Structure 1
Amino acid sequence: MRRPAACRGPARLGPVLGAAGGAFQRCGQASVGSAEDDFGEGPAVVVQLALHQTRAAYEQYATTLPWSAEPMPGWESDKQLHSNYISAKPDSPGYTEEQTAEVAQFQAELLRLSTEVVTHPYWQSLSGPDLVDARMVLQHAHESVEDEAA
């Protein structure tokens, strides 16, 4: 049995994903091209869950980064009419080489997973409202996993 590509995702995401990482544990149970492709516990769901989890890990990582990828001076705007808010940013040292590499790795993984979901053969078997309904079910597949984990 060949493992879906999502199961071969970055191992470093395991600790970041916590309980939601259960999708990766089920990878060994699903085979590509099986009858499970209709989104039961099949590879399409595993890939979609991996996409959600990778995006969440990327967003969490991005909160630790400087506001600018390149070194930039800070700034402070003028007070706006009818408001007391003054927008400001401190100096940004830019990303380190390691941070740039990590962001690139996350973006490549997100692109790969997105492409795998969008080009999954299952979508060819549907059209019209059925396609929209099936896509919405897949979009919310992570919610049932979160409910089970709670």
Structure 2
Amino acid sequence: MNDETAFPHDLLKLQERLHRAHAEHRAYLAGLPWSVEPMTGWVRGERFSHRGDVPDSPGWSEEQKETADRMRAEIRQLAAGVVDHPHWKSVPAETLVASRMQLKRQGRPAEATENHASAEAA
């Protein structure tokens, strides 16, 4: 399999799981308070803020911190699996970067691709 666009099925699935893990992590973080530790907010005039007034943050609970850490650990494990996959040994050095970028594009979950396309159309 020297063609950089012909990826093994298990590598494609691993890359798809990595994309999904990143998306789940981003969605989880978006629902949490803006500061990990409790912090007083401010009004726009007190500090620069492109968001306007920033409310107080109660910080994250221990459970939220553990969940975020667990999700980051899963992302690291999946990324290591993609990078260390035996397939990369068969790819010539001069096309390795392009091949890895192709895998990222090709390994996107179908729903994410469809959602991205429908968001662009709107």
Q: Is the 8 A contact 1:76 1:86 kept in 2?
A: no
How many matched pairs?
106
TM-score normalized by the length of structure 2: 0.74
Per the alignment, residue 75 of structure 1 pairs with 42
Query: Paired residue for 2:26, among 48, 56, 59?
Result: 59
Gapped regions of structure 1 (runs ≥ 5): 1-37
What are the residue-to-residue correspondences of 1:22-101 with 2, within 5 Å? 38-40=6-8, 42-78=9-45, 87-101=52-66
Question: Normalising by structure 1, what TM-score?
Answer: 0.62
Measured in 2, the distance between the counterparts of 1:130 and 1:139 equals 14
Identity level (%): 35
More RCO (CA 8 Å, sep 6+): 2
Which residue does 2:97 correspond to in 1? 132
Contiguous gaps of at least 5 residues in structure 2: 1-5, 115-122
8 Å CA contact 1:79–1:86 kept in 2: the answer is no
Paired letter, 1:78: G
Moved over 3 A (4+): none
Aligned residue for 2:78? 113
